[in-house]
Amino acid sequence: MKILSSLVLLTLLSINIFGQTKTIHTFVALCDNINQGIVPVPKSLGNGQDTKNNLYWGATYGVKSYFKNKTSDWNLVSTFASNNPIILERILFKHKSIDVYMLADAYDGEKIKTCIEDFLKASNGQKPITITHDKMSLDFGGSADLVSYIGHDGLMDFDINITYKSTETTKKDAIVLACYSKNYFSSELKSAKANPILWTTHLMAPEAYVLKAALDGWIHNETGKQIDERAAQAYHKYQKCGIKGARNLFTTGF
């Protein structure tokens, strides 16, 4: 009887974790040597209008290439034509074993301000969008379960003025992979009533292996501290920076 009860409990827990479709919307501001206040990278990686080779998109550890070619648990299932000239490419990934979808948008690097504003509005439940895939309607933008930003910390360079919904009651999970993102995004995400599950305290390379590690934890309903540790382990693995330094780089919550 005890064994049967344990099996029933495990089944119920599995249904709770994996039983409903979850959606993630990732906003990527393409690396841009000319239009962003960054230390220049090689020309091919820092062309903010070239999705194929961009450091944060088409390069080896960019979002598109890494999730498509370097992971064993995500499939690229669709590429959409964008009717927004600022979004140069829009793609949809699906987790292979769990009902989770990630929509990733590559923003023209010159339009980094718009990318960050769209991310912050989505973190506040604004600008919901619906994508149809295999006759399914999937909710992203302000209706996604998790939103993430990857790119240069543009808030170091410019101010933004967003009117946030004060009536928003759902604290949307958010990830910000950019240099010193906790310092610069804190006031905005507080106003947005979002829940920052992962962001940074120092300079960093916002590459996709960190996002993948964080999503692994989020999908399994791990705590912010557990997600933080996954990110640190991944960053140390690829950057060889020492696990202590990697742990100091990432943090969770306010």
Q: pLDDT tens for residues 46-55? A: 999 999 999 9
pLDDT given for residue 30 in this prediction: 98
Report the C-alpha gap between 248 and 239 in whole angstroms: 14
- Put simply, whether the predicted model's pTM sits higher than 0.95 gets the answer no
Tokens found for residue 5: 């009860």
pLDDT given for residue 201 in this prediction: 98
Buried b / exposed e over 60-96, threshold 16 CB at 10 Å, is ebbbbbbbbeebebbeeebeeeeeeeebbbbbbbbbe
Structure confidence by residue, pLDDT tens digits, 210-241: 999 999 999 999 999 999 999 999 999 999 99
pLDDT given for residue 101 in this prediction: 98
Average confidence score pLDDT of the chain:
93
Report the C-alpha gap between 46 and 218 in whole angstroms: 30
Kindly state the average pLDDT of the residues 182-188: 98
Tokens found for residue 144: 């996604």
Residue carrying structure tokens 């604004």:
126
